[in-house]
A and B are shown apart, each in its own frame.
Chain A
Amino acid sequence: MTPQPSAPGPPRPLKRKDAPSSSNTAGSTNHNKRRKTQVALDASGPSKRKDAQSFSATTKNARHDKRRQTTKDARAISSQASSKAFKNGELDVDKFVKAREYEIKALEQGMARAKKALAERAFQQVPKELRRRTASHNVKRVPKRLQRRAAREMVEDKTKSDRRKPSRHMRLRIETAKRLRALSAKQRARKDAVVKDQGTTNVQSDQRPVSVKSRKPRVKKNALKDPPPAPAKFRKRQIGKSWLPTHLYHAKRAHMTSPKEPLWRYAVPLTPTMKSYRPTHRASGDRGAVAWDMSYMATVSLAGTEQSLQGLLRALGIGVSPETKQLWETRGQRWSLGTRVWEGWLYCRDSFPLQAIAPATVIWCAENEPTSVLGAVAEEKANVQRKTVRKLLIRVHPSAFHQLWDEVLRLAKVQKPQVMVEDLRFEIGSIEITGPASTEALLGALWPNTSTSCRDWPQGSVEATWSSLAEITNPATLPENVLFGFDIVDPRLHHPPRTIAIPQSTRESALLSTLSKWPCDQTQTSPKLFDRNARLKAARALPSQKAINRRKSFAVPGTYPEPKPSDAQIPILLYATRNLQSRNGGQSRAQGTWNFLLPWKAVLPVWYSIMYYPLSTGGQPRFGGLREKRQIVFEAGVPWFPGDFPGTAAGYAWEVREREKRKEDWAKRPRGKRTEWSSVDLGNGKKGEIGDGWACDWERLLTGMAPPTTGKSAEAAGDPSSKSDSVSPPPKLCHITSAAASSLLSGSSPLHNIDLSTALATVTLDLLVRGVPQTCARIYRLPSSSAIDPTAISLRNSWLALVPTPESRRRGREQKQPFPSRLRRDAPPHVVHRQLAQSLLKPPQAGEDEYPVCPGEEDLIGFVTTGNFNLGEGRGTGIGCILLGRVLDRVREGRDEGMKGRLCVVRNAGQSVGRLARWDIAG
């Protein structure tokens, strides 16, 4: 390039056109002449006639020139003049080196600049999860701040915009919308005219009180609740199902259940439309937060004397077993006083270890009088208890709701005095949020109500305690299952939320003492959420968005509107839970979860406040769907209800539903491209998948080997017309909870009333070698060591030979690659020899001849209900269910051999390779 006689120290691009005089300094060479003629040619167009009518053309041309100029600037490389570099024209090593250094710097900067200026277009600057495939053709697909730039770029490089003619269906909708708009405008005009006619008499109509007295609906006790009537606009879309309060939010951003097949009679978000699960994984464990609208969870309210409530809960199996008896004594005192929640399994009436219904949360309502009953005289306490009516909530998964409802209703009528049961399904909604920033996000969204217009709550009160938790990055650090009940203000009054000030470590000791003392135990008053009137009042007092906007516009710019005494007070119940049975036993790493219950109508404003909260670590909380929920608990090694509990009625229904879906997917594929179940090689000359390949075939597992109709049965099952299997009654499976299963396996408490042949336990599966278990994978036990058959013994030994020793495991970790890389053809002989020696010492790999085959069907013990790659572990893991009766003897005989009793082989459905794994009882 032309040298710059006055080039300063740092290199800068030449700007030829901005400074026309520079062409003079560059010298009148051919080179420059050519460029001048080029400019003249360009200018011969519209730029010569700079009159008014061609103004737009000139601006366009100018814009084009400007663009070209910027590219040219970006591509220019600065250079140094000799006179600058070598003073007096003297050669010198130092100057020589300096000149080269300058050149290196200039060239490097030039390369970087050229790359930046050339390569990046606006839609490429968008973060990965916000990229849209059509963003290069449709400006609306990029974030607002980039839209102008994107539009300019599209004009400049003549990208065709994505403005197509609307389709026929779309045109119809546009026309309808237009007609509706006209209609409503006409109506509004008519209404306005009427108001004007009436004159000033109706002025006070603006100042009518926010809450309108309406007829109190009769409380339906002991009866199921109907879904709330949907607005007329959406009624047709809610036939046979209900929408969650946040349906509109989710429907825009997530894949929902298909309209014809709702889940548990709700339209449930399945997974966000944003691609990639990994950001959610990060948000749930490392940075950020993930929230779910869990309003589909069913809530049942019970009211009665403490005696009868206790009787009812006992009949449902709470605190019945000798281990949990403590719950009704000192250990469960906080729970029954209403400052802790209880989570655990509920059972059918008086059938404790059998017939589990579902895991549930039970929350007692705290009482208003100072709860220093802890030390009160027992007799007095008992007297009080006999009379006062207490309330409690049971929260259960919707798939098991009806079963529980029937059971509870029956039990409530038996109690003396009777217990009132109320279905609160569409009255109480809930939100769940997890992740390190969850506490922060909640603090930003849930502002405790200030009745006295000052923000100072008395020391130790629930609100003060809640507000002091800002530093907590894991809800699991709080006391176990801790519960808050308080009122919050309408979050729309402080929307959009602002990042809260997180106190620095100076106050850490205060937080620690709060956590250890937990003053809420003494100060918790009766949460208003239990009070039906308070719930209704809160729902009714919620002002319209219009009213909120008006108040906001009156507020001083930059501030939130002043609170008013007539503002809605939304009662909420907030509790933190943790996954005790998480993988690795590492409670320190496992994230706890915040759950909160609130009136159904208040869910949406709170949801928006959470979703738009700017986290102090950057970004906003993410939302998850059902799939994210399942995957996050799966990665923590916790089974998910109902999917991982086929021993319960709800779990079996889920399995049947999933089975149908997988079968459909299988049947949809062309014959050549789907797994041919009948030709799956199971080793030892056996062919054909065990049972249905698309199912966790519990029927087959219980009944054992089907009559030998090998080829035909698979074909018949593949035939979509044979729907007999879905109609057949569920097998008599029986879920055994983790505590019972562990005690059974350890032999500490023989539970003689358990039918071992049908007892199912949920287990986690850790693969000892490679491989990723998939849903429906088959789980086998190893052949018995006391078997008579010599082939079985040898099979057992060859599987045991695959168990990695601690040394090999360590070696593998050091090498960081489980398999030696393929050798180069010209590898030196000593490397070849080394590899050969290593491969001789290595256990056989899958696919080699020595790799052991799967055990036979007589050793089948269960199925994998959830299997996937586990991002937390960095390898495949699984959660499955096994028949306890089939592993009991193996566990007992292998007890003195360490873990050998719990080894199993996992084989994915439709594959012949088995993988060695180890099972463990999971929550």
Chain B
Amino acid sequence: MVRIKHRYLLINILYPDPKSTSGRPATKPGDEVPYTVQFRRPSPDRMDGGVLTRLIRDGVAELFGDYGSGKVAGSLQVKYFSQATSTAIVRVSRDHYRLVWAALTFATRLPNPVGQPCVIQVVRVSGTIRKSEEEAIRRARLSIRQAEAAAKSSNAATAGLAAATPQLLSTEDDDVDMINGIEDPDDPRDIEEDLDDEG
């Protein structure tokens, strides 16, 4: 018996337009929300797995026509979608995952009931759902650490202390690495630079 082989794409959805997104930074004076937190916003309430499926399907149909949508339709499934973290796991057949990936990459806007500009990153392609789950956990841990570190440093900056944390951060986060050629752009040093610019 031949096993049906799939690929699981771990996806992050980013919302570049701060005006139309649901998550607004808290507007208390003196309470700066770090860039890391702002960068990864939650999805709007109307966004769900169904919307994501529709987005992919439409995208594939647009890019690859009936051929593409026919190839993808049988196996496409959203295995996991979390609004709060804007993370999703999408399953496709192994032979056609590139079509889906392309559709995701070219997506600029969520479909209609939501209708928001977005950027979709494929951060991991794996053969089993387990591996993509593990990667999602790893990334969640990482972003927790980054957010906490950023919050600490920003607090320190507002308190007027010298921000001497870059080395500390870089040593902590040395486990950000290249996975399948997909780089996580969220380098802590960038955050520092950004913070410096703002300051």
Contact = CB atoms under 8 A, between A and B. Distances in A.
A756 to B, nearest CB: 72
B70 interface: no
Contacts of B41: 91
A84 B85 CA distance: 12
Given A26-B50, A100-B143, A107-B133, A89 B82 contact: no
B49 interface: yes
Question: Max chain A CB contacts within 10 Å: which of B79, B140, B143, B148?
Answer: B140
Interface in A518-573: none
B50 A85 contact: no
A82 B83 contact: yes
Contacts of B81: 1-3, 79
Contacts, number: 138
A84 B23 CA distance: 12
B181 to A, nearest CB: 24
B45 A1 contact: no
Interface in B123-140: 129-130, 133-134, 136-137, 140
A31 B83 contact: no
Contacts of B50: 2, 26-27, 29-32
B37 A80 contact: no
A99 B33 contact: no
Given A27-B50, A30-B50, A108-B137, A102 B24 contact: no
A97 interface: yes
A99 B42 contact: yes
Given A29-B51, A92-B26, A86 B42 contact: yes
Given A93-B147, A99-B42, A86 B140 contact: no
B157 interface: no
B55 to A, nearest CB: 10
Given A79-B80, A93-B151, A2 B136 contact: no
A99 B85 contact: yes
B53 interface: yes
A557 B50 CA distance: 61
A104 B140 contact: yes
B49 A31 contact: yes
B44 A82 contact: yes
A461 B113 CA distance: 91
A29 B54 contact: yes
B93 interface: no
Contacts of B48: 2-3, 26-27, 29
A80 B141 CA distance: 17
A656 interface: no
A103 interface: yes
A65 interface: no
A55 interface: no
A107 B22 CA distance: 25
B33 A79 contact: no
B97 to A, nearest CB: 18
Contacts of A97: 144, 147-148
B138 to A, nearest CB: 9
A888 B190 CA distance: 85
B65 interface: no
A90 B26 contact: yes
Interface in A106-143: 106-108, 110-111, 114
Interface string B74-95: 0000111111110100000000
Nearest to B18: A91
A91 B26 contact: yes
A97 B84 CA distance: 11
B16 to A, nearest CB: 15
A93 B34 contact: yes
A29 B53 contact: yes
A437 B113 CA distance: 71
B25 interface: yes
A5 B25 CA distance: 22
Contacts of A665: none
B80 A1 contact: yes
Given A89-B22, A93-B147, A104-B137, A1 B79 contact: yes
A183 to B, nearest CB: 52
A100 B49 CA distance: 19
A237 to B, nearest CB: 48
A803 B107 CA distance: 76
A759 interface: no
Contacts of A333: none
Contacts of A611: none
A565 B29 CA distance: 94
A77 B80 CA distance: 7
Contacts of A111: 130, 133-134
A89 B57 contact: no
A393 to B, nearest CB: 67
18 contacts: A29-B50, A31-B50, A79-B81, A79-B82, A82-B23, A89-B22, A91-B33, A93-B34, A93-B148, A96-B147, A99-B84, A100-B143, A100-B144, A102-B84, A104-B141, A107-B80, A110-B80, A114-B130
Interface of A: 1-3, 5, 26-27, 29-32, 77, 79-86, 89-93, 96-97, 99-104, 106-108, 110-111, 114
Given A81-B83, A99-B42, A111-B130, 8 more contacts: A3-B83, A29-B48, A79-B80, A86-B42, A89-B24, A91-B23, A93-B34, A107-B80
Closest 5 CB pairs of A and B: A29-B50, A85-B84, A82-B42, A99-B84, A79-B82
